[in-house]
Structure 1
Amino acid sequence: MARPRANPEDVVAIKIMDLNNQPKKELLITEIEVMKTYRHKNIVNFLDCYFVEENQELWVIMEFLEGGPLTDVVTETIMKEGQIAAVTRECLNALSFLHARSIIHRDIKSDNVLLGMTGNVKLTDFGFCAQLSNEQSKRQTMVGTPYWMAPEMLEGEPPYLNETPLKAIYKIATKGKPDIKNFEKLSPELQDFLNKCLDVDVDRRSSAEELLEHPFLNKSMDLGTLRPLIVAAKQATGH
């Protein structure tokens, strides 16, 4: 598939990476390779990259999503279950696509989900991605952001945010599924969906492909209904 190129009049996003202050340069290569190689409607498009030698900077040119990160919406507004279902469905489409190619993202959180003003939902930040070999079914190492386990979309922040990262990891490992505020007020479909996502037993936990068949996603509203929430979040944050 031909790689899309940025036109001179296009608005793009530019990620500037200072190579002098980048201890793990392999993460940069991973991110670029994943975006170049794996193209999907729910993955941010890579357009080009440039090395600025005098500043030792790598400039990565990507498509620009005007709606910004999902974090702004979940922290500044209240999403309906149908909107949560719609965003989750789009994220699962991207993850199912990657998993089918033995790619794991390893840093799924609302900061890494970008929104378009017309309802586009796309995953970004592939620096922690890993390619599983034919002999591997999982990775033994831990990377990513310690705090981020669902259900931050419901509550606006991840569990244990006020704890130190080490203590948060300990609680996640020892306690298992975090308590969800007002769980009883959620629809039965969302309750069951969360239980299947957060099962501590990896053998019982649903895969992205299985979750795409879950009845909760049948509640999905039109993605265009996100626009008022995005506008409200922009007004609240001043972005």
Structure 2
Amino acid sequence: MNQSLVPQHLPQYPTPNNTQTKFDYSNKYVKPEWSGQETPVSTRTNQNNTPTSQTIIPDQGGSHSYQSVQNGNIPPIFSNGSIVDSPSGSQTSQANTPVPPNRVHPVINNAQIVSTNKGIGQSVTRNQDQNQNIKPITNGISTASTTSIPSVATKQHHEQQRITHEQFRAALQLVVSPGDPRENLDSFKKIGEGSTGTVCIATDRITGRKVAVKKMDLRKQQRRELLFNEVVIMRDYHHANIVDMYDSFLVGDELWVVMEYLEGGALTDMVTHTRMDEEQIATVCKQCLKALAYLHSQGVIHRDIKSDSILLTTDGRVKISDFGFCAQVSQELPKRKSLVGTPYWMSPEVISRLPYGPEVDIWSLGIMVIEMVDGEPPFFNEPPLQAMRRIRDMPPPKLKNSHKISPRLQGFLERLLVRDPAQRATAAELLQHPFLRLAGPPSLLVPLIRGSRHSNC
């Protein structure tokens, strides 16, 4: 292949290193980082029916520019509080257990907060006023009022767009397998849908096992370069507590990612429908921390840890999913500044647009612990923008039910939710925490899986 066809702005992924890389964290804000995701199909809104989904504002502008942040302030777009009801930027994955309608997440994309509806078979609509707010403008004139006769400039623009698509497809072809997966897969059944694509269950004719197939249309992605994360991270980094990717293909203009199908559903189902005891919380945390310790040792930051991103097998094994928003850090690129994640789970340094590294995942895990105790993250009944300001400006959030937890769990949580990222415990350190001695075998979680399914019936 002519390498000149590969766009230069596409992310460069390092060769995976199986050794435990040690980064120098002596500088308070200079720490490893890089960019990706694949999240459970769920619908989450707070009690005010405010959407609460993923957020991403890139490190650099280009065609996807963002509002700059001065002195650690939330961008102006956040200050005006406008929310655009659009599926743009939302992600899909394989969790197929229905979730109550009071849990949908907001997405911040292209310096806008975008609501995302990831429920099965559900769609997101925009009202007329919202559509007017996001009309493209050309030379100060709304495109809705322009003539339908294409100009020479328009034709040239379309030609450039076509070439760009061809270049991107050629680059993606370098990292996927050749061939057509439909030769070995059949009995496709759609279980989820989002703006990036759909998720289906299929049967492998050779092995007879069920697999999950994530299908993403290249032409419908707001940030196509993030598709590389869907392939490269899951392909190159394997761990018992990370969802396995079996293969990936280009089928026409769609990227198909074939991965293991986890029938236990998402952790969100359990935190919203059942009550978890401390042994079960410790069991989930220990499995998640094993995966995070591995990822962080390889310079990978997940950047969207929350209950929706944690999937379970029917026998209770916990696996991290949703790698579309992850980032890679190295000695050459030791920090990130993108505003990426889901507002209620974001760390203070991410919201403040300070350089950050793997420690942001630890904060998000702390918020997930609060989910497991209280059933929802802090500030969940407030609009996302207000919640982000509170996270940025206030001391670490507290449990609503702090009187119901042991001193060991309280001490564990206090090691996670530390405002200064340099003082926050690492995943490897947390695995040695006394609270995790309560962790039991995965089978401890099986009653919760059954209980959440019963509640969904």
TM range (shorter): over 0.9
1:93-104 paired onto structure 2 within 5 Å: 93-104=290-301
User: Is 1:67 the equivalent of 2:286?
Assistant: no
What are the Cα deviations for residues 26-51 of structure 1, in whole angstroms up to 9, with x where unaligned? 11111210000001100000011222
User: Is 1:219 the equivalent of 2:438?
Assistant: yes
C-alpha separation between the residues in 2 aligned to 1:115 and 1:206?
A: 25
CA contact (8 A) 1:31 1:129 kept: no
Distance apart, 1:8 and its partner CA: 4.1
What are the Cα deviations for residues 27-84 of structure 1, in whole angstroms up to 9, with x where unaligned? 111121000000110000001122221xx32221100111011100111001110010
Structure 2: any 5+ residue segments left out of the alignment?
1-17, 19-183, 185-203, 346-363
Could you say which residue in structure 1 is the equivalent of 2:216?
17
Could you say which residue in structure 1 is the equivalent of 2:404?
185
Max Rg structure: 2
Moved more, 168-177 or 149-158: 149-158
Could you say which residue in structure 1 is the equivalent of 2:309?
112
Distance apart, 1:179 and its partner CA: 2.2
TM-score by length of structure 1 reads: 0.92
Question: What is the total number of aligned residue pairs between the two structures?
Answer: 234
Amino acid at match of 1:216: F
CA contact (8 A) 1:12 1:61 kept: yes
Moved more, 150-159 or 133-142: 133-142
CA contact (8 A) 2:374 2:401 kept: no
C-alpha separation between the residues in 2 aligned to 1:87 and 1:236?
A: 21
Distance apart, 1:166 and its partner CA: 1.6
User: Is 1:200 the equivalent of 2:419?
Assistant: yes
C-alpha separation between the residues in 2 aligned to 1:94 and 1:201?
A: 23
CA contact (8 A) 2:287 2:319 kept: yes
C-alpha separation between the residues in 2 aligned to 1:122 and 1:64?
A: 11
Structure 1: any 5+ residue segments left out of the alignment?
none
C-alpha separation between the residues in 2 aligned to 1:142 and 1:51?
A: 30
1:228 to 427, 441, 447: 447
C-alpha separation between the residues in 2 aligned to 1:216 and 1:26?
A: 40
C-alpha separation between the residues in 1 aligned to 2:278 and 2:261?
A: 27
Distance apart, 1:216 and its partner CA: 0.4
Moved more, 6-15 or 220-229: 6-15
Distance apart, 1:165 and its partner CA: 1.9
CA contact (8 A) 2:230 2:257 kept: no
**Greater helix percent: which structure?**
1
C-alpha separation between the residues in 1 aligned to 2:406 and 2:273?
A: 22
C-alpha separation between the residues in 1 aligned to 2:388 and 2:395?
A: 10
What are the Cα deviations for residues 153-190 of structure 1, in whole angstroms up to 9, with x where unaligned? 21111111222222111110111311211213311110
TM-score by length of structure 2 reads: 0.49
C-alpha separation between the residues in 1 aligned to 2:215 and 2:382?
A: 31
Q: Secondary structure at the match of 1:147?
A: helix
Amino acid at match of 1:203: A
Could you say which residue in structure 1 is the equivalent of 2:181?
none
Amino acid at match of 1:82: E
C-alpha separation between the residues in 2 aligned to 1:31 and 1:177?
A: 32
CA contact (8 A) 1:83 1:222 kept: no
Question: Percent identity among equivalent residues?
Answer: 49
C-alpha separation between the residues in 1 aligned to 2:447 and 2:380?
A: 27
Amino acid at match of 2:418: D
CA contact (8 A) 2:373 2:401 kept: no
